[in-house]
């Protein structure tokens, strides 16, 4: 796995318009400046600048104690992050991609997610774990999966998926302020996107309506937000007004915002890059069915990835992933 690189990066430019990558970097810089308990560790975060160039320049600014390169030992450095959090530090651990986080899954589930409860509330694990997720670059089945839904299954974790530049900029500070472990999923396809970074911290748990509409609710998160927005635009051309809800937090789920949207539009399409079976999309659809059944005018639709390990060949990969056309077709079925 390697980096898509970001050429010349001007730190001062990361205030108003910036890329998602720069916004993440700026948030890291701010956190490292603000609190000396904060440090960043992971594979190639220092000298290399991060495999997606997110932490480029931070080693030079903060030194190797606080921007720490680790060996290829996911279980050890994630677990060490848990220990360091118990010991009073505020670690930010970067795992190159969610695929490799499986080597640390034991630490994340059996330690980070359980220590507070298992100790009867004596211990807290204020740890932030960042990782890349998602497909779209022909990297095949060991580099392309969207497993954030698995993590959203686990009580004791908070799971967020910044989909906009402002969220990339604003979610780290509240994540660090949380007494609980927070997992941050950054979709690989978003790093180069541009937007308004804002600068203010944003909340961790609220979903956001990214586009208002009246006929159908497209509920999505992370890397699928641009797809859902493009579908809404297309649908508008056909006279269908789609509302786009960005979940932002995958655990806890902001049920209220989703239900309120469905009560307005009476139709639901969930767009999720994860596999359909047992997915986050299934959870959203189930909650809507449980709590807004009589508000629905059509069965909920789900647009997810095909149930196949992500293939390499470009046409197969494309066919495996949710596309704008799939979302449009699903929305049409609900209004049809």
Partner 1 sequence: MTAPVDVRRTLLHEMVRIRRFEERCVELYSTERIRGFMHLCIGEEAVAVGVLGALAPEDAVVSTYREHGHALARGVPMTSILAEMFGRASGCSRGRGGSMHLFDAARRFYGGNAIVGGGLPVATGLALADALAGRSAVTACLFGDGAVAEGEFHECLNLAALWRLPVVFCCENNRYAMGTALEREHAQTDLALRAAAYGMPAWPVDGMDVQAVAAAAERAVTGVRAGSGPCFLELRTYRFRAHSMYDPDRYRDRAEVARWKDRDPVDRWRDLLVADGDLDEDGWARIVADVDEEIEQAVAAAEAAPVEPVEELTRFVYAEPS
Ligand X SMILES: Cc1ncc(C[n+]2csc(CCOP(=O)(O)OP(=O)(O)O)c2C)c(N)n1
Residue 212 interacts with, from partner 1, ligand X, none (CB under 5-8 Å by kind): none
307 belongs to the catalytic site: no
CB 317 within 8 A of CB 285: no
Please give the structure tokens belonging to residue 251: 């655990």
CA distances from 242 to 103, 157, 283, 309 (A): 40, 31, 21, 31
**In whole angstroms, how close is the CB of 279 to partner 1 at the nearest point?**
16
- Beta strands 268-275 and 249-251 are unpaired
To which H or E segment does residue 151 belong? helix 148-152
143 belongs to the catalytic site: yes
Segment 282-311, which members bind ligand X (CB under 6 A)? none
Residue 177 interacts with, from partner 1, ligand X, none (CB under 5-8 Å by kind): none
Catalytic residue among 74, 243, 273, 301: 74
Q: Where are the beta strands (DSSP E) in the chain?
A: 17-19, 38-42, 67-69, 90-97, 128-133, 158-160, 182-187, 194-196, 208-211, 216-220, 242-246, 249-251, 268-275, 301-305
Q: Which stretch binds ligand X (CB under 6 A): 95-103, 161-169, 218-226, 242-250?
A: 95-103
Out of 9, 89, 103, 260, the only residue in the binding site for ligand X (CB under 6 A) is: 103
Q: Which residue has the tokens 């993590």?
A: 151
* Binding-site string for ligand X from residue 12 to residue 51, where x marks contact by CB under 6 A and - marks none: -------------------------------x--------
Residue 73 interacts with, from partner 1, ligand X, none (CB under 5-8 Å by kind): partner 1
Residue 118 interacts with, from ligand X, partner 1, none (CB under 5-8 Å by kind): none
Question: Residue 160 or residue 190: which is nearer to partner 1 going by CB?
Answer: 190
**Alpha-carbon span 158 to 116, nearest angstrom:** 13
Binding-site ranges for ligand X (CB under 6 A):
1, 43, 72, 74, 96, 100, 103
Q: Which residues are catalytic?
A: 74, 143
């Amino acid at each position: 796995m390697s980096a898509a690189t970001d050429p010349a990066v001007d730190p001062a430019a990361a205030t108003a318009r910036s890329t998602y990558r720069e916004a993440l970097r700026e948030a890291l810089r701010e956190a490292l400046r603000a609190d000396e308990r904060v440090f960043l560790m992971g594979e190639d975060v220092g000298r290399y600048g991060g495999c997606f160039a997110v932490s480029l320049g931070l080693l030079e600014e903060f030194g190797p104690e606080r921007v720490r390169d680790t060996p290829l030992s996911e279980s050890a450095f994630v677990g060490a992050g848990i220990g360091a959090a118990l010991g009073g530090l505020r670690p930010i651990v970067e795992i190159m991609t969610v695929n490799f986080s499986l080597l640390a899954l034991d630490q994340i589930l059996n330690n980070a997610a359980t220590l507070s409860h298992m100790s009867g509330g004596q211990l807290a694990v204020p740890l932030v774990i960042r990782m890349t997720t998602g497909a779209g670059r022909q990297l095949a089945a060991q580099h392309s999966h969207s497993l954030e839904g698995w993590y959203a299954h686990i009580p004791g974790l908070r799971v967020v998926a910044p989909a906009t530049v402002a969220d990339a900029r604003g979610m780290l500070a509240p994540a660090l302020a949380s007494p609980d472990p927070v997992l941050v999923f950054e979709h690989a396809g978003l790093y180069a996107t541009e937007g308004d970074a804002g600068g203010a911290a944003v909340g961790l748990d609220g979903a956001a309506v990214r586009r208002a509409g009246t006929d159908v609710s497209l509920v999505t998160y992370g890397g699928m937000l641009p797809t859902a927005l493009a579908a809404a635009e297309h649908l508008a051309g056909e006279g269908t007004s789609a509302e786009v809800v960005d979940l932002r937090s995958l655990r806890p789920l902001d049920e209220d915002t989703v239900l309120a949207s469905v009560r307005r539009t009476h139709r639901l399409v969930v767009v999720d890059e994860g596999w359909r079976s047992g997915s986050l999309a299934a959870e959203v659809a189930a909650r809507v069915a449980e709590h807004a059944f009589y508000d629905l005018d059509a069965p909920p639709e789900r647009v997810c990835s095909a149930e196949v390990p992500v293939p390499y060949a470009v046409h197969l990969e494309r066919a495996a992933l949710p596309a704008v056309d799939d979302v449009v077709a699903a929305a049409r079925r609900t209004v049809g």
